Amino acid sequence: MNDDETMIQTDILVIGSGVAGLAFALKVSPFASVALVTKKGVMDSNTTHAQGGIASVFGQLDSFALHIQDTLEAGDGLCHREVVEQVVKNGPERIRELIDLGVKFNLSRQDADNLDLGQEGGHSRKRIVHAQDMTGLELERVLVDHLHRDPRIRLFENHVAIDLITCSTRMKRGTVTTGHEDVCLGAYVLDRQTQQVKTFAARITLLATGGAGKVYLYTSNPDVATGDGIAMAYRAGATVANLEFVQFHPTCLYHPEAKNFLISEAVRGEGAVLVDQAGRRFMERYDPRKELACRDVVARAIDTELKQSGDDTVYLDISHRPADFIKERFPNLYRRCLEFGFDMTRQPIPVVPAAHYMCGGVVTDLLGRTDIQRLYAVGETACTGLHGANRLASNSLIEALVYADRAARQAAADLAGFDVGAAPAPAPWDEVGTSDSDERIVVSHNWDEIRRCMWNYVGIVRSDKRLERAQRRIENINNEIREYYWNFKVEPPLIELRNIATVADLIVRCALHRKESRGLHYNIAYPRRDDRRWRKDTVLRRAYVG
């Protein structure tokens, strides 16, 4: 296909270079040309930061039935059973594929023919396949290496997708309308280096843009996690769901310079205990599983302890385990903690909760298809129905791998069936009437305000009053952004601000809609789960909640 500088044609456009985008790209490249755009470097992703590992059934004492049961239990009544079965049963095959690609998982000390399996909160058996405590980095290393060697995949780093293009896209500025019969034609993408907006015309587009942790002031996520895929899909008219279910990781290192540094669940899996300032354990007052309770229970317990005591932090203590074991099992955590002045082999580490994982997202079917034709979504940006109201630890990498595989197979069938001439060519980007910004302070101020507002009013414990307050503020900010967006040339901070504001609004609307407490959503006005009225997903379409 012929390209000019700003019009790139490809069979398949992949947006995002985490595990979802990379695994999908490698699977479709044998039968299609692929353009993969990613907003910073290829390794900048949530995936790279994943520590604990990948949940899958390999243990002799384990079974698909148990993994399914644990996932359903964590999901608190909202998981889609057929999705859970699909992910769990396909898991081991996807892990074997990774091993064949060259991923080096830890092997059992007792039996080097078997994988070493870790234990994490909410899992009734040891089933966490891992590469020391840097599993995500190892995945990215291997997948990126294969990507670089694949001549059918063109990689565009430092390219920020702005908006999807659909048949009903109305220029100017990629504003789009509804339409569930709509067809995706590609995306407008800003090249950070040239500052040009390019039009990527594609027969199939995959959103693999990851999570939205940056919507909150404190997060374990890297800077790229601004919910862009959810916001773009929603603007394009796709259905999104369950955005009230934001997982807060209970244990991020508390240190002014330790931005986004997470202490993996696996540390509690290996026996670490949580204590208060006086060294007293407190988890037994909240759950019989103590430190191995699900994340939401542990995060809420810490939140309660901190609010009651007025302290800034609680502590995680694994110093009773042998130092050699800790150093070997958690080399990265050990090293990073030491950099911040904490020796985890000898002392408790100060920890606080932080926004970690988005269970909701763009609604897809069992093959990763959204309700816009030719638009797929895989990974953290999608809402497949696997996680329900709460994700079981280490179920997200396996979800991304299984859905990348399912979506790739379906994409092959789609491409074989398409009439190439059927869809219109997308219109080029139009920036007539815009100028360079002279008011960047508006953007940085609003970034900060949204994230603080979400942390204070839409966090671990919610109330209708706080949610309504948040809604009013975010609406004002959204109005300001809209005005600003139409007058100035797009720049990455503005693109991301527009997206975090959209996602914040969607989270608040979902949270206000659900009048109960379930899974990760806890509202003090409705402290109990209400299956009679609320055992259903929160589904949002533009101008519709139902």
Ligand X SMILES: Cc1cc2nc3c(=O)[nH]c(=O)nc-3n(C[C@H](O)[C@H](O)[C@H](O)COP(=O)(O)OP(=O)(O)OC[C@H]3O[C@@H](n4cnc5c(N)ncnc54)[C@H](O)[C@@H]3O)c2cc1C
Stretch that binds ligand X, among 50-58, 235-243, 327-335, 507-515 (CB under 6 A): 50-58
Collapsed DSSP state (helix, strand, coil) of residue 534: helix
Quick check: 210 binds ligand X (CB under 6 A)?
Answer: yes
The 3-state DSSP class for residue 334 equals: helix
Site for ligand X in 221-240 (CB under 6 A): 221, 224-225, 228
Looking at the Cβ atoms of 426 and 526, the one nearer to ligand X is: 426
Specify the residue, 16 or 122, whose C-beta has the smaller distance to ligand X: 16
Kindly tell me which of 44 and 291 has the beta carbon lying closer to ligand X. 44
Cα atoms in the Cβ-side hemisphere of radius 13 Å centred on 147: 26
Q: How far apart are CA 415 and CA 412, in angstroms?
A: 5
Contact pattern for ligand X over residues 259 through 298, marking x by CB under 6 A: ---x------------------------------------
Q: CB nearer to ligand X: give 231 or 326.
A: 231
Q: How near is the Cβ of 417 to ligand X at its closest, in Å?
A: 27
Work out how close the CB of 328 gets to ligand X at its nearest, in angstroms, rounded to a whole number.
18
Residues composing the chain: 546
Q: Min. distance of Cβ 339 from ligand X in angstroms? A: 16
What the block records as the tokens of 210 is 């990851």
- Asked whether 209 and 381 are in contact (CB, 8 A), the reply is yes
Q: Is 319 left (phi over 0), alpha (psi -120 to 50) or beta?
A: alpha
472's CB contacts (< 8 A; 6+ apart) are none
The sign of the dihedral angle between the CA atoms of 397, 398, 400, 405 is: positive
Q: If binding is defined by CB under 6 A, does position 380 make contact with ligand X?
A: yes
Residue 20 binds to ligand X (criterion: CB under 6 A): yes
Task: Report how many residues bind ligand X under the rule CB under 6 A.
Answer: 44
Q: Please identify, among the stretches 28-36, 47-55, 334-342, 471-479, the one whose residues bind ligand X according to the rule CB under 6 A.
A: 47-55
Asked whether 519 and 78 are in contact (CB, 8 A), the reply is yes
Answer for which of 49, 94, 295, 369 binds ligand X (CB under 6 A) is: 49
Q: How far apart are the first and last CA of the chain?
A: 43
The interface with ligand X within residues 350-369 (CB under 6 A) comprises 357
Q: Which of 42, 30, 278, 11 is nearest to 156 (CA)?
A: 42
**Rounded Cα gap, residues 3 and 43, in angstroms:** 26
Give the whole-angstrom CA distance, residue 514 versus residue 535: 10
Residue 421: Cβ within 10 Å count? 6
> Which of these ranges, 209-217, 305-313, 361-369, 446-454, lies near ligand X under the rule CB under 6 A?
209-217
The minimum distance between CB 465 and ligand X, in angstroms, equals 31
Q: Least Å distance between CB 147 and ligand X?
A: 12
Q: Residue 42 corresponds to which tokens in the numbers above?
A: 């290829």
37 binds ligand X (CB under 6 A): yes
- Taking the complex as a whole, the smallest distance from the CB of residue 361 to ligand X amounts, in Å, to 9
Would you state the structure tokens that stand for residue 307, as one six-digit string?
């609010």
Please report, as residue ranges, which positions from 121 to 180 form the binding site for ligand X (by CB under 6 A).
Answer: 135-136, 160-161
Stretch that binds ligand X, among 12-20, 313-321, 448-456, 528-536 (CB under 6 A): 12-20
Nearer to ligand X, 10 or 395 (CB): 395
Residue 161 contacts residue 187 (beta carbons within 8 Å): yes
From 15-23, 271-279, 288-296, 333-341, span contacting ligand X (CB under 6 A): 15-23
Nearest distance in Å: CB 128, ligand X? 8
Q: Which residue in 53, 186, 353, 361 binds ligand X (CB under 6 A)? A: 53
When binding is defined by CB under 6 A, the residue of 9, 13, 18, 235 that contacts ligand X is 18
Contact by Cβ (8 Å): 499, 231:
yes
Rounded (10°) angle between helices 228-235 and 492-513: 80
Q: How far is the C-alpha of 519 from the C-alpha of 390, rounded, in Å?
A: 5
How would DSSP label each residue in 399-423? Answer: HHHHHHHHHHHHHHHHHHH--TTSS
Single residue of 379, 385, 426, 459 touching ligand X by CB under 6 A: 379
Asked if 15 touches ligand X (CB under 6 A), the answer is yes
- The pair of structure tokens assigned to 272 is 């670490």
Stretch that binds ligand X, among 96-104, 146-154, 206-214, 468-476 (CB under 6 A): 206-214
Q: Taking phi first (over 0 means left), then psi (-120 to 50 degrees means alpha), and beta for anything else, what does residue 341 get?
A: left
19 binds ligand X (CB under 6 A): yes
Phi, psi (rounded to 5 degrees) for 139: -60, -50
**What is the closest distance, in whole angstroms, from the C-beta atom of residue 51 to ligand X in the complex?**
5
Interacting residues with ligand X between 449 and 508 (CB under 6 A): none
Compare residues 225 and 504 and give the one whose CB is closer to ligand X: 225
- By CB under 6 A, name the one of 394, 471, 523, 538 that touches ligand X: 394
Q: What are phi and psi of 191, to 5 degrees?
A: -85, 115
Binding residue for ligand X (CB under 6 A) from 8, 13, 52, 354?
Answer: 52
CB under 6 A: which stretch of 13-21, 79-87, 345-353, 481-489 binds ligand X?
A: 13-21
Parallel, antiparallel, or unpaired: how do β-strands 34-37 and 7-15 relate? parallel
Q: Which residues are catalytic?
A: 295
Residue 207 CA: distances (Å) to CA of 231, 421, 494 = 11, 23, 20
By CB under 6 A, name the one of 86, 199, 209, 364 that touches ligand X.
209
The site for ligand X (CB under 6 A) is made up of: 15-21, 37-40, 44-47, 49-54, 135-136, 160-161, 208-211, 220-221, 224-225, 228, 262, 357, 379-381, 394-397, 400
